[in-house]
Structure 1
Amino acid sequence: MTKAIMIQGTGSNVGKSMIVAGILRACSRRGMDVRPFKPQNMSNNAAVTSDGGEIGRAQALQARASRVEPHTDMNPILLKPQSTTGAQVIVHGQIAGHQDAAAFGKNKAALMPAVLESFQRLAAQCDLIVVEGAGSPAETNLRDGDIANMGFATAANVPVILMGDIDRGGVIAQIVGTQAVMNAADNAMVRGFAVNKFRGDRSLFDAGRDDIARRTGWPSLGVIPWFDAAHKLPAEDVMDLPARSRSSGTGCVIAVPRLPRISNFDDLDPLAAEPGVDLRIIMPGSPLPADADLVLLVGSKATIADLAALRAEGWDIDIAAHIRRGGRVLGLCGGYQMLGKSIADPLGIEGAPATVSGLGHLNVETEMAPIKHLSLKQGHHPASGTKLSGYEIHIGETTGADTHRAWLQFDGKDEGAASPNGQVQGCYMHGLFNADSFRRAFLSELGVNSTLDFDAGVEETLDALADHVEQFFDIDLLLDIAGAV
């Protein structure tokens, strides 16, 4: 019978996704058949799975850490924010509707059967499931009908390890306070705690660790130091972007406007890893840099709303000036749609029904449609002859004269559009820059001589993360708590 353990956090962004990936890779290296699972995720950074659906990008990385293909059962409920109060609801990888936060709060308990169905399917395939919570179980206002934390743990009878984040301060209060506000039944599910993101001499926190154990009665599974190579792995969610606002590379400047509903920004990871690329995520309130070689517009969960935000920042003026100076522009998915002459959403799929003018740098028009394109694809870049793998995850159909200058081919069909001089390009395909040969060819046009093997770097980082977790986290105790020894 498959065993399971759940890592819950004292709050969002405490490093749960990263530690779960490290645990999974460490257990896989021990010869165990493991799977990741997150009952409910909220993220616009999604991955397309081989079974034709979408899951949170963090679970796709965890699947890679487990050395298995991503599957929709690993993240049965995905919420993709489209506004400050509403989100698209994805169930088993497919759109199930749109709900505002209040309605979802009332209806979420009805999704528990779908969550348990996925969990049970995974349980039939492996030795151990490592489950990741969402947010914090201390959010008592969300406990009724909960499917993401203790609601799931109690329904599936999965023991919990509670993890705090010492980097943000107050970790003793985080963990002890969480126990204080949870009910007795939920507290009984917690079998231990861990402290993440420690910097400096760990022995200085021995007394703090022991105080948490004394106050809670829970054993410590470790005080885990800050993992310096975390930036080499895909960001968990948009909260990570400010900390990654500028890469460590130098040379070619690639500027990325940080829009409110930015999505699938893992397209940036291979570029951020390039030593010859200075990747800059431009935060609101700052102009696009005049020395940029390339302006890159990435995906958006609400293209018309993000286009309005881009204009409010004055970035449309900066992009036009960049083009006049001879700079290049690339739009991916939502960014591609923004570069066209118009965007129409007559059915109000991404917001209120509207038709707006685009930036006008590509002679194309886009109309949003109810059908969502979700697929993994193989292709090539005819100009360089390089092979590509990618995925599409979008709504909307784009047509117009510049599509006759398609610069990619996927599954035997032309893809993308380009201006007559090739200075402005766009396409719907994600994951282009993961292909080393294409990325090298693309960057060579910007003066970069790339030798980076990106996928090998991700694998090395996952192994380094597993080493880190093995050293500072008690995996043997975790497996004992899970009943997997």
Structure 2
Amino acid sequence: MKTIMVQGTTSDAGKSTLVAGLCRLAARKGMQVAPFKPQNMALNSAVTPCGGEIGRAQALQAMAAKVPLSVDFNPILLKPNSDTGAQVIVHGHALTNMEAAGYQDYKAVAMQAVLASHQRLGQSYQLCLVEGAGSPAEINLRENDIANMGFACEVNCPVIIIADIDKGGVFAHLVGTLALLSEQEQALVQGFVINRFRGDIGLLQSGLDWLEEYTGKPVLGVLPYLHDLALDAEDAVTIENRTENASLNIAVLLLPHISNHTDFDSLRLNPKVDLRYVRHGEKIGNVDLIIIPGSKNVTSDLAFLCSEGWDQEIKRHLRYQGKVLGICGGLQMLGQKIVDPLNIESSQKFTMALGLAALTTELKETKQLTNVSGHCLLNNGKVDISGYEIHCGQSEGEALKRPFLAFVEHPLGAATDGFISEDNLIAGTYLHGLFDNPDTSTAILQWASNGKFDCSGFDLAKHREAQLEKLADICEQHLNIDKIFALDV
């Protein structure tokens, strides 16, 4: 298996997007291609067919490559649950929680898991396209590195470095990054890609010529700024999304440890929906639907929610017959209390919740990771619904006797999920991805608007596929693709 790695001068330089574009181009050429990220730190994740968990970016890249999801595409996933700690997920399953200092010592063990995954992929794929993390020039993180040059040196693969010209200082970023690498690492760098260029390429040419002469490395292409490219984000939340003449106004509470905010991509892209993330210091205001999203640290985020005064705003919203939807951690917050006897998420063993639903949640040691399908029971209907579960909480109580959905088949034998309140104002579910199906999305938005929503839900899968095709076309037009796929060391 041939391996090519994309590293960036900074976070958000375009690594994920470039790998996704190259994956689709390789698939077009008939190659069996595997996306790979040795170590990912993100709260957006996806569930594989085998019941493992990987970063959302690698799931997107697998879709671009037209291959089924595998835990080997992202062997180490770190999900931050505090400013200094994270849950460590190895080969798709949670191992433990670690503080940053402790994880530095664990990296040597983690590298073995990374190399094992890469070796297994080599048995089934012709090409492995690897995404680095952050920057390879972070001096304080270079010891025992497994995410960037540490991995590249271990497997001796060619490296492309991508930089974002839109932020300014692109030549300093590229030259400085290269200068901070060792001689062995510099030798692995086979070229540069410049991302998000606006304007006349002729005005950039003298800089490209200088860069190639100064470094002795070729520029493999310049990608334009893609204003309307919308793909699943690895971690960053797209905040600005105001829509004029919307049929429905939705507020999503931006919690400090919000997880899987990709749940709301189809709402954000729907031209009839005005989706707004409510941030620290902001009021929720007058909306049709308030969504409490998933969280990696429910008790901490619940305290944050209350400190912002959003709990009182939610209750006022309900008094005026507004709708509230809780997803995963949001469902747990709507209940009576959250019990954490094993300190899975925090040192608090008992937390009073919002008290808006008759249910109690206990956080368990084993995380539930499943892809599921069933029927959404809102509006007295049976609209097909599908999605995935990622949670360690188990909820019980009277509220669950009025379920949100009925499963067609559940790997663990569950018959139903979530709840709908007796007054039909509040609903909760553990299901992520519930808005991705346009029929399900329509049903939920009809419920939120009391039947007044006048358009269909957004088809996210169709949109994603069109965006991947567009991205591949742009990469083919602006990059030296033949040279990239022929790179070697």
The bucket for the TM-score relative to the shorter chain is over 0.9
Q: CA deviation at 1:248?
A: 7.4
User: Alpha-carbon deviation of 1:155?
Assistant: 0.3
| Deviation for aligned residue 1:217 | 1.1
Deviation, 1:428, is 0.5
Equivalent residue letter for 1:138: A
1:252: which partner in 2?
248
Q: Which residue of 1 aligns with 2:234?
A: 236
| Residue 453 in structure 1 maps to residue 426 in structure 2 | no
In 1, Cα distance between equivalents of 2:245 and 2:184: 50
| Match in the other structure for 1:403 | 400
Q: 1:397 to 1:58 in 2, by over 3 A?
A: same
**Shift in CA distance, 247/148, structure 1 to aligned 2, threshold 3 Å:** farther
SS at match of 2:228: helix
Alpha carbons of structure 1 residues 144 and 247: separation in structure 2 relative to 1, 3 Å: farther
Q: CA 1:296 to 1:234, structure 2 compared with 1: closer, same or farther past 3 Å?
A: same
Q: Does the 8 A contact of 1:347 with 1:353 survive in 2?
A: no
Q: Which amino acid aligns with 1:194?
A: V
In structure 1, the partner of 2:273 is 277
**C-alpha separation in 2, matches of 1:200 and 1:288:** 39
Tell me, what secondary structure is at the counterpart of 1:228? Answer: coil
Change in 2 beyond 3 A, CA 1:376/1:4: same
- Report how many residues are paired: 478
Which runs of 4 or more aligned residues in structure 1 lie more than 3 Å from their structure 2 counterparts after TM superposition? 244-249
Partner of 2:430: 428
Measured in 2, the distance between the counterparts of 1:246 and 1:364 equals 35
Alpha-carbon distance in structure 2 between the residues aligned to 1:481 and 1:425: 52
**Residues 248/406 of structure 1: CA separation in 2 closer, same or farther (3 Å cut):** same
Q: Deviations over 1:79-120 (max 9, x none)?
A: 000000000000000111111111111221221111011011
1:341 is aligned to 2:339: no
Larger mean Cα displacement after TM superposition, 207-216 or 59-68: 207-216
In structure 1, how many angstroms separate the alpha carbons of the residues matched to 2:169 and 2:244? 30
Taking the aligned partners of 1:191 and 1:462, their CA distance within structure 2 comes to: 25
CA shift, 1:318, in A, is 1.4
Are residues 249 and 44 of structure 1, via their aligned partners in 2, closer, same or farther at CA, if it must alter by over 3 Å?
farther
Letter of the 1:380 partner, please give it.
Answer: H
Q: Using the TM superposition, give the Cα deviation of residue 246 of structure 1 relative to its aligned residue in structure 2, in angstroms.
A: 4.2
Q: Return the offset for 1:188.
A: 0.8
SS of corresponding position for 1:114? helix
Structure 2 match to 1:264:
260
Aligned to 2:175: 176
Any conservation in 2 of the 1:249–1:274 contact (CA below 8 Å)? Answer: no
1:370 to 360, 365, 375: 365
Task: Report the AA paired with residue 469 of structure 1.
Answer: C
Structure 1 unaligned runs (5+)? none
Q: In 1, Cα distance between the equivalents of 2:164 and 2:245?
A: 28
Classify 1:482/1:64 alpha carbon distance in 2 versus 1 (closer, same or farther; 3 Å): farther
**1:149, 1:229 → 2: CA distance?**
29
Partner Cα separation in structure 1 for residue 428 and residue 487 of structure 2? 50
Does the aligned pair in 1 maintain the 2:53–2:93 contact within 8 Å? yes
Q: Look up the SS of the partner of 1:317 in the other structure.
A: helix
Contact 1:407 1:418 in 2 (8 A): yes
Partner AA of 1:263 in structure 2: S
Q: Using structure 1 for the length normalisation, give the TM-score.
A: 0.96
Correspondence list, 1:279-318, <5 A? 279-290=275-286, 292-318=287-313
- Shift of the alpha carbon at 1:203? 2.4
Q: CA deviation at 1:265?
A: 0.9
Structure 2 portions without partners, runs of 5+? none
**Aligned-pair distance for 1:251?**
2.7
Kindly indicate whether residue 470 of structure 2 is the aligned counterpart of residue 464 of structure 1: yes
Whole-Å Cα distance in 2 between the matches of residues 142 and 114 of structure 1?
19
Q: Alignment partner of 1:119: what SS? A: helix
Give distance in 1, aligned partners of 2:459 and 2:178. 45
Partner of 1:388: 385
CA-CA distance at 1:449 after TM superposition:
2.8
Q: How does 1:8-87 map to 2 (within 5 A)?
A: 8-87=7-86
- Partners of 2:243 and 2:272 within 8 A in 1: no
For residues 428-476 of structure 1, what are the alpha-carbon distances to aligned partners after superposition, in whole Å with 9 as ceiling and x for unaligned? 1111111111111222232323333321111111101111111112211
Give the RMSD, CA atoms, in angstroms.
Answer: 1.5
Alpha-carbon contact 2:436-2:459 (below 8 Å) kept: no
Task: Out of 244-253 and 343-352, give the one that drifted further.
Answer: 244-253
| 1:158-201 Cα shifts (integer Å, max 9, x gaps) | 11000111122111111000011111111111000111111222
CA shift, 1:378, in A, is 1.6
> Equivalents in 2 of 1:207, 1:359: separation in Å?
61
Offset of 1:71 from its aligned partner? Answer: 0.6
Contact 1:380 1:387 in 2 (8 A): yes
Assess if the C-alpha contact under 8 Å between 1:58 and 1:236 holds in 2.
yes
TM-score, L = length of structure 2: 0.95
Which deviates further from its counterpart, 174-183 or 435-444? Answer: 435-444
Distance 2:244 2:298 in 1: 30
What CA distance in whole angstroms lies between the structure 1 residues aligned with 2:197 and 2:293? 33
Residue in 1 aligned with 2:188? Answer: 189
Matched, 1:329 2:324: yes
Distance in structure 2 (CA, Å) of the matches to 1:247 and 1:350:
36
Deviates more, 1:56-65 or 1:140-149: 140-149
Cα pair 1:255 1:280 within 8 Å, conserved: yes
Q: Is the 8 A contact 1:48 1:375 kept in 2?
A: yes
Instruction: Judge conservation of contact 1:222–1:474 (CA < 8 Å) in 2.
Output: yes
Structure 1 position 474 matched with structure 2 position 480: yes
Matched position secondary structure for 1:284: coil
